[in-house]
Every structure is written in C-alpha cells, then in structure tokens.
Structure 1
Amino acid sequence: MYRGYGNPEDDWASLGVNTLLKRDPIFNKLYNWSYDDGTCLGAVYNIYQLKKQSKMLEYCKSNFDRYLDSQGNIHDYVAEDLALDDICNGKSLLDLYHETKDLKYKKAADKLYEQLKMQPRTEEGTFWHKKRYPSQVWLDGLYMGSVFYAKYQKMFNLDDRYDDVVHQFLSAYKVTLDDESGLCYHAYDEARQQPWVNKETGHSPHFWTRAIGWFVMAMADVLEYLPEDIEGRKQIIDNLDHLLKALKDYSDPQTHLWYQVTDEIDRPMNYIEQSGSSMILAAMAKGVRMGYLNASDYEDFIEKGWVNSLEQFITITNEGYVNTNRTCQVGGLGGPNKRDGSYAYYMSEPVISNDHKGYGAFLYLAYEMEQRKVNN
C-alpha cells in the first residue's frame, strides 16, 4: 500500500472505528431504520469486544438509542412491510441487551423476531426478501434476517426454530447455485414472473459480488449460534467452503480481490469492488479462525487479499481519517426503477467513498486481521 498511509500490520480496526467516532458522531443523519447501521455498527461492536474501549460501545448505544423508546418501539420501522432488510439491526439490539440488560433492546428485538414468524415464504419455505418482492429469494436476505433468527434463539434459549434457520441457508443455496461455476446468483424468482428472471432456472442474470459477500458472511456468522449437533450444520459449512473455493477461482489473480460482476473480469467497465471483496475475505478469515475451513486452503490467499485491499480501497485524509473507496452504492432487482439485473445495470450504479455498508465490510475484515494477531 502507499507508504504514507502506514502498513498492513497497523491496527486498522481501531483506526477505522476512531474515524467514525470523529467524522460521523451521528451515524445515520437520515434517521431511517437502515440495515447499513446494523452492518457497520455491528462491526464496531466486534472491535469493541476485542479492544475493550468503552467509547466504541457508547457509540453503538447512542446511535441505536435514537430509534427506540422505553417500550422498544422503533422509529421508522414498519413491520407490515415484511422486509428482511429491517431485521439486520436486530443483531446489534441483542448485543446492546447483552451489555446493558436494558429491556427496551429486548422488546425491540422481540418485535423483529415476531416479524420473522409472519414473513411470507416460497413454496419450499424460504423467506421472501420483502412483501413487495413476492416469491423472491435474494442472497442479501440471509445476512439481514436469518443470522438474527438464530442469534435470538440462542440468547433466549429457544430451540423450536433452529431447523428453520438451517432450512433458510440450505434452500437459498440450492435455488441460487450455478452448478457449472459454483457461484450463487444474486436472486431467484420461484414464480418466474419478474422481468429479470431466467424463465428456465428462476435465476437473475448475473453474479453480483456483494450479494455473494453478504451470503458467505452470513454463513460464517450463523454457525456461531447453531447447536453443534443440529442436522444440516455441516452442510452449511460444506456450502461455505465450496462457494469460497469457487470465489477464489473467479478472483483477480493479481490482487485476490473481486470485480463488481463476479465472473466477467475482462469485460469493459467492470471494476474491482470494495464492499464485496472485503466481505468475502472477512468470511474466509472468520471461517479459518473458527475452524470451519482448512487453513492451508486459504491462509496465503487471505494475506495477499488483505494487503491488496488496503492498496486498492483505502486512502487517508489530512485529518488522519480512513476512507473506503470504490464501493458500489446499491444493487437490486426490479422495484420502482425496474432494475433489470443486466450487466449494464450493475455498471450504472454509482461508485462512491465511505458508504456505510462498505465501511462496515472493511471493519469486519480489519477485525478479523486483528484477531489473527491475537491468536498468533
């Protein structure tokens, strides 16, 4: 990386969090209940657990307290929308309840758990991504909803729905998998009715790197909360391993990072994208740390990818703030803008700096690299 910024052995996790504390004391100025908050502040909480700096915990707490009243009612949350995106922040609510035992966090998490009980499903039993996206399974949804689904059950000693959590992961993998490449498509439409759908397979047209990044991070995360002996847990591990090995084959050979459209490296306008690359490397590193993956299959790849991710994506301002760059702002299918999932669509979305989803992905990866120092 550029020598003026430091080196890969620096404590990038703390540098990144301290940047947020100074630059974004109010994390979400739009004051909307957004999964960006849970993604990024969840990473801040992980780093707090490692560094034990109370200012990090207070940052998470103060930014979520803005949304909650004493009864756990959540500003800007509409349960009737039945959107998995709205569940993502629930993981942080559980963390805050664990730390403070303040019942408002549990009451708010209870509301999100109740939504999952009402969430519409495909005929195979997989959650729809949102009520307004009927019959559709999106890879993002596993990170947004199903990790919380398991984490809530473990925290409150429930065991009646673990099988359903496993089913969400195995069925989503099954319906999005491309057997030839080993990659998973961005989304699947069971009804074969969406304008973007392949009528034969139900798949969306392309592999989108951040969608796959959400999915592999979700698999690496959910395993912490599932009982060791539950049927299907080993299959989730195998699926994670197979998908990550396929991703290694489709990475940029020079940097060990990934392009916006995963499998079309040589196509004009495609670019190495920050958020998805950081997510995939973070999932690899966590999988190795937790013993889910064979270290010899991934160690060298992770180390090279980490160094190159700093070089490709990180800049430092005159104030010493850490910037993340080359992040796709958003990616989706259908909706009011009639996003068609074409290559042209994925190239059309803005590429920005310091997107909170991308920043969270960077922090998760930096956290894993700090963990490697502790464990070594």
Structure 2
Amino acid sequence: MIKTLSLGTNFYKYASILLLLCCGKTIAQTQIISDKLKWSERMALSIIKRHPEAWKIDNHEAPKWDYKIGMILTAYQKLYTKTNDSKYYDYIKGYADVFVDERGTIKKFDTQNHSLDNINGGKILFDLYYKTKEEKYLTALKILRNNFEDYPRTQSGGFWHKKIYPNQMWLDGLYMGEPFYARYTSEFEGGEKLNDVAHQFELLHEHTFDQKTDLYFHAWDESKQMAWANKETGTSPNIWLRALGWYGMALVDVLDYFPKDHPKRNELISYLNELAVAVTKYQDKSGLWYQIPNLQKQIGNYLESSGSSMLVYFLAKGVHKGYLPAKFEKVANKGFNGLVTNVIKADKNGEIHITQVCGSAGLGGNPYRDGSFEYYMNEKIVTDNSHGLGAFLLAAIELDK
C-alpha cells in the first residue's frame, strides 16, 4: 500500500512537471507579439516564432546553406547592432553553427560547385568572428573568399552566375557575391580586389542597361547562345523587379567598403543615382512596384512585395549614407507605407506575414525558363517566402519605423 502510494506520488509529481513544460510551450507558442514594437522587431520575432531554428525558414526539411536565409540573417545582424538583444545574435549563431564545424569546414558547401548564391550566407561570419574570435569562422571566411580564385568568368572578366549557367551574368549575382567579396578584400587584403568588384557592376551596367526605360534587364549572356538571349545584345527579354532590387542592394552595400578616395567609388554612386531616378518613375500610387515594373498596365501584372521592399531598402540606405539626394527618402517612405498597408498582414497572435511575394524566378534550367512576360506572371505568388521576409526586414530596419 505504501509502495503504491509512493508510486502514485511520483506519478503526479512527474505529471505536474510535464504539464508545466507543455503549458510553457503552449504559452510561448501563443504569446502575442505587440503591435507597439517597430515593424522590424515584429517581423523578426514572427520569423523566430514560426521557425525557432533559422535553417527551417521556408519549411526546409534538412539544413541548407541558403542565400535567402543569409539575407534574412544579415538583417538580424543589423537588428542586433541596433537593439543589442541577444536573441537575435543567438539566432544568427545557431544557423552558422549548424554548418561551420570546429575545423571551419562549411557543410553542404562544395568548393567546385561554383555558384554566387553559395557565397551570400557567408556575410554573417564576419561579425561572428570579430565577436567570438573563434578561428573556425575565419577559416570558413577564407574558404568562401578562395572560391573566387578559380571561379569561372566570362571572357570580359565577369563571374558566371553559376557554373551550370556558362557565360551568363545575372543582376541577382551582384548581391550574392560582391558585398562579401568587397568586405573581405577591404578588411583582410587592404582592398586590393575592389577594382575587380567594381568591374562586375561595370559589365552589367554596360550590357543590361535599357535606354528605353532606364532600367536593367534581368541578365546577360555574353555568348548570346541561350535561347532567351537577344541575338544582338545578349540580354534577357524582360526587366524583373526583384533583379532591380538585388542590383540596388548590391550597390548600396558594396559602397560600405569603398574608401572615399577609391577611383571607382564615384562611378558606383552614379549607378546608384541613375537607378534611384529610374525606379521612382515606375513607382505605383500605392507606393509599390510591379513584377515587371515597366509594363504596369499589361494584363496579369501585379504589385510584388519582395522587390518593392528591396527598392525601399536601397533608397533609404542610399540617402542615409549620403549617396542619394534627400528627396529619395520620401520615395522610400511611400514604398514602406505601401508595404504595411497593402501586403503586410497581422494574425490574432500579433505575428506579421508578408504576402504577394514572387516565389522564385530565373532563366534557363529544367523546366526551361524563357524570361517572357508570361513566365514571370506564372511563377507562384506566395506568403512568407524568405525573399520577402529578408527584404522587408532590411527595409524596416533601415527606416526604423
């Protein structure tokens, strides 16, 4: 009888502990995110709530060294710098430590599978190294930097977007590779490769700029052999909003690492101003921009949130850094207000979500992506895709609303 009572007491003791643990989890899961917080923290907390481990963003079933998560965590670094809130730092470090082992090897990273997308996640390693002084992060940075040494290039010296896309440069690739390359060479090599960084922008400015719209085509095939390539110019058929966003963000971010006396700095600033003037002309009255920004009235076109967020970010940062005239702050604010009015949705727990995100877009591949207007319209439109989450975070942090 005594033994039975003892067992029963233990049972109730452990049951109580389990109940407390379960209740605690339930409370955490249903905790309300206050609408009094800034938009940046509301989004950052929403992402953590949905995905307590960063590698699971976009519902990945296994860890992936991912350029989009790299963009999101770059934003978290900015947020950590602003708030000094350790949960943002822990979120970044948690992702890095899934991939970077004690020797500095990056899991899921093949040095011969050349792709600029694979570089972008490395941006988070700089600050982790400076904060922790752990050699593994420096080793990983060196691995990524060395990837540029034998990276395939066009005859004119431009990095291919990926090894599987010979002779092609995409605007997307400027954001994936150049800010990392610029920061590394600036901080560890005395800036010796900054001319090479600038050359990537010069090539795409020369070959993708469209004089009819003052915007930029999505990509350029130097060989002019791809079915999507214009046989005279090598450009892809259309201008794509998110590609413009990648380009603008790449420009405004690499400029962080160009000294004021560098001969290429003013050239890059002129490109930034040229882009700012052009995209302002295509801003919708809602504050947002269309998926194909120069074909606003064409049936099927829609206001797209990730590219719009990217433009807001580069415009705002460009003004704050003194690269752009102050008038573009108004354009950025109109864009941000358009985002929170039209595409940001809050649920009953205060979580915020970003809608109207183009899920993905590219050129070539299998199934074949021909770069036509119809192609860009038929890519899935999704909610809380990481392109949109990261871009909105960057915009919200920069405008500090």
Residue number in structure 2 paired with 1:99: 131
Alignment length (residue pairs): 364
Instruction: State the shift of 1:168 in Å.
Output: 1.2
Distance, in Å, in 1 between the alignment partners of 2:251 and 2:115 is 20
- Structure 1 residue corresponding to 2:232, chosen from 200, 208, 212: 200
Report whether the alignment pairs 1:180 with 2:212. yes
Instruction: Name the residue aligned to 1:337.
Output: 367
Q: What TM-score comes out, normalization by structure 1 length?
A: 0.94
Partner of 1:12: 39
Shift of 1:73: 1.0
CA contact (8 A) 2:288 2:335 kept: yes
Q: Distance in 2 between matches of 1:219 and 1:269?
A: 30
What is aligned with 1:293? 324
Contact map agreement 1:150 1:165 (CA 8 A) in 2: yes
CA contact (8 A) 2:312 2:336 kept: yes
Is residue 286–residue 368 contact of structure 1 (8 Å, CA) maintained in 2? yes
Deviation of 1:193 after TM superposition, in Å, equals 0.5
Shift in Å, 1:348: 1.0
More deviation, 104-113/20-29: 20-29
User: What is residue 77 of structure 1 aligned with on the other side?
Assistant: 109
| C-alpha deviation, 1:157, in angstroms | 4.2
Q: What is the TM-score with the length of structure 2 in the denominator? A: 0.88
Q: What is the CA deviation profile of residues 93-124 of structure 1, one whole-angstrom value per residue up to 9, with x for unaligned ones?
A: 11211221111111111111111111111111
Name which of 224, 247, 259 aligns with 1:215: 247
Shift of residue 173, structure 1, vs aligned partner: 1.5
Could you tell me whether the CA contact under 8 Å between 2:186 and 2:192 is conserved in 1? Answer: no
Which one of 266, 285, 301 corresponds to residue 270 of structure 1? 301
1:134 equivalenced with 2:161 (yes/no): no
Shift of 1:10: 5.2
1:236-292 per-position Cα deviation (integer Å, ceiling 9, x unaligned): 10111101211111121x122111112110011110000000000100000000000
Q: Which amino acid aligns with 1:357?
A: H
Conservation of the 8 A alpha-carbon contact between 1:248 and 1:256:
no
Larger CA deviation: 20-29 vs 345-354:
20-29
* Conserved 8 A contact 1:128-1:137: yes
1:59 to 87, 91, 101: 91
Range that drifts further, 224-233 or 181-190:
224-233
**Distance in 2 separating the partners of 1:188 and 1:95:** 34
The secondary structure found in structure 2 opposite 1:116 is coil
Moved over 6 A (4+): none
Counterparts of 2:185 and 2:241 in 1: how far apart (Å)?
Answer: 30
User: Which of these two proteins has the greater Rg computed from alpha carbons?
Assistant: 2
Could you tell me the percent identity over the aligned residues?
40
For residue 299 of structure 1, report the CA deviation from its aligned partner.
2.4
C-alpha contact 2:312 2:333 (8 A) present in aligned 1: no
Shift of 1:126: 1.0
Give the Cα separation in 2 of the matches to 1:45 and 1:6.
Answer: 22
**SS where residue 58 of structure 1 aligns?**
helix
- Alignment-derived partner of residue 143 in structure 2: 111
Matched with 1:364 is 394
Q: Return the offset for 1:212.
A: 0.7
2:334 corresponds in structure 1 to 304
- Which of 243, 246, 262 aligns to 1:230? It is 262
- The C-alpha deviation readout for 1:155-203, integer Å capped at 9, x for no partner, is 2243321111111122221111112211011000000000111101111
Could you tell me which runs of 5 or more consecutive residues in structure 2 were left unpaired when the two chains were aligned. Answer: 1-32
How much does 1:140 deviate? 0.5
Instruction: Look up the equivalent residue of 2:277 and give its one-letter code.
Output: K
In 1, the alpha carbon distance for the partners of 2:191 and 2:48 equals: 38
Q: Separation in 1 of the partners of 2:162 and 2:172? A: 11
Could you tell me which residue of structure 1 aligns to residue 282 of structure 2?
A: 250
Gaps of 5+ in 1: none
